[in-house]
Amino acid sequence: MSGEVLQGWWHWAQGIIPASERQSGLQELKQFLRAFTVLSPLEITLRRFPPQIHLKLPLTELQERWQRRWQERVPLQYLIGVAHWHDLELVVTPSVLIPRPETEELLEVVAATVPPWQQQGHWLDLGTGSGAIAIGLARLFPTALIHAVDCSPEALEVAQVNIQKYALGDRVRCYVGNWFDPIVPLQGQVQGIVSNPPYIPTSLVATLQPEVQYHEPLLALDGGTDGLQAIRQILETAPEYLQRQGWLFIELMATQGEAVAALARATQAYERVEILRDLSGHDRFLLAQTP
Ligand SMILES: C[S@@+](CC[C@H](N)C(=O)[O-])C[C@H]1O[C@@H](n2cnc3c(N)ncnc32)[C@H](O)[C@@H]1O
């Protein structure tokens, strides 16, 4: 395709970005074009296109996808098929949650908390989705064996693609099923558990931005009436799986800190229970350790 035609396309593409989202929309347009061409960021920013450009998809397909971004509010990551998270570029489809910056922080909390002697053995990622946490953990703890569980077979297919992409097939195993059900043989052997479970109360799902409520999997969002259904289940069962002084890290919603800490203490199975804040100052993570 000629650079001139792409100039015309750019003009059209920026014209359909809603005025209220012009700045962020332009950033997305640059990312969108980067994903489907071999143009450099500078060529795109300056709109200095070479005379001939190779497009990875036909122009009509690009046009249709960019329209879906604004008419249907499909998240950019689903349209380009990848999400940048931590130091990874993960494949994503509408079967998986788009991994969030808060979850990068969760991984940083794990890295800062777990002493070297426990950075090995069996670790769990419960509700792995795209495999983000499992892959992040495997790279963080190079001798650990990671068990990634999700009840969605479609999500696990995506996780497998990402695990292969980072050549971690020998250290990250995937299981389909309900939380701990597929990994019963690991009872009493697990060094640590990391989970970003669904935690949005059902009644709030309809208040989320359209990109999230209409396009991300409900299974990844809906945490039941009080949002704590999955968290409660994980808190209650985790002690059966953890070794002595084993770790549990769970991501939560900003308003759930006190309730989750109370649930953890009520099990009487943890000697240390803390709620940690994210970079925005909101309660975001549970850290618990068995005696
Ligand atoms: C909030 S998403 C987290 C995805 C990914 N770990 C991340 O942080 O981006 C929650 C995940 O939990 C999975 N899930 C929901 N209920 C589950 C259950 N009962 N057992 C196992 N996984 C479940 C969903 O399919 C979804 O992939």
Our answer on whether the CB atom of 13 is closer than 6 Å to any ligand 1 atom is no
* Distances in whole angstroms, Cα of residue 179 to Cα of each of 144, 202, 236: 20, 19, 12
Give the list of residues 6+ apart from residue 83 with CB closer than 8 angstroms, or none.
77, 89, 90, 92, 98, 99, 130
Mutate to test the pocket of ligand 1, among 152, 228, 234, 278 (most ligand atoms within 8 A of CB): 152
pLDDT at 271 (0 to 100)? 97
Our answer on whether the CB atom of 237 is closer than 6 Å to any ligand 1 atom is no
Of ligand 1's listed atoms, the one at least distance from the Cα of 197 is 10
Rounded to 5 degrees, φ, ψ at 242 are -80, 145
Our answer on whether the CB atom of 199 is closer than 6 Å to any ligand 1 atom is no
pLDDT at 64 (0 to 100)? 97
Domain range summary for the chain, segments of one domain joined by +: 3-71, 94-289
Our answer on whether the CB atom of 127 is closer than 6 Å to any ligand 1 atom is yes
Our answer on whether the CB atom of 227 is closer than 6 Å to any ligand 1 atom is no
Q: How far is the CA of 82 from the centre of ligand 1 (A)?
A: 18
pLDDT tens digit at each of 291 positions of the chain: 899 999 999 999 999 999 999 999 999 999 999 999 999 999 999 999 999 999 999 999 999 999 999 999 999 999 999 999 999 999 999 999 999 999 999 999 999 999 999 999 999 999 999 999 999 999 999 999 999 999 999 999 999 999 999 999 999 999 999 999 999 999 999 999 999 999 999 999 999 999 999 999 999 999 999 999 999 999 999 999 999 999 999 999 999 999 999 999 999 999 999 999 999 999 999 999 999
Which residue CA neighbors atom 17 of ligand 1 most closely? 151
Q: How far is the CA of 114 from the centre of ligand 1 (A)?
A: 23
Asked whether 209 and 240 are in contact (CB, 8 A), the reply is no
pLDDT at 1 (0 to 100)? 86
Asked whether 264 and 286 are in contact (CB, 8 A), the reply is yes
Taking every pair of Cα atoms in the chain, the longest distance, rounded to a whole number of angstroms, is 68
Q: How far is the CA of 42 from the centre of ligand 1 (A)?
A: 37
Helices (H) and strands (E) in the chain, counts: 13, 9
pLDDT at 65 (0 to 100)? 98
Q: How far is the CA of 219 from the centre of ligand 1 (A)?
A: 7
- What's the first-to-final CA gap in the chain, in angstroms? 64
pLDDT at 205 (0 to 100)? 97
What does the radius of gyration of the chain's CA atoms come to, in whole angstroms? 21
Of ligand 1's listed atoms, the one at least distance from the Cα of 100 is 9
Element (H, E) at 150: strand 143-150
Closest CA to 241 of 181, 197, 165: 181
pLDDT at 61 (0 to 100)? 95
Q: How far is the CA of 52 from the centre of ligand 1 (A)?
A: 44
| CATH number given to 94-289 | 3.40.50.150
pTM value surpassing 0.85:
yes
Which residue CA neighbors atom 7 of ligand 1 most closely? 99
Of ligand 1's listed atoms, the one at least distance from the Cα of 178 is 20
Tokens of 199: 């935690």
Mutate to test the pocket of ligand 1, among 128, 146, 218, 250 (most ligand atoms within 8 A of CB): 128
Asked whether 252 and 260 are in contact (CB, 8 A), the reply is yes
Give helix 257-266 / helix 229-241 axis angle, nearest 10°.
40
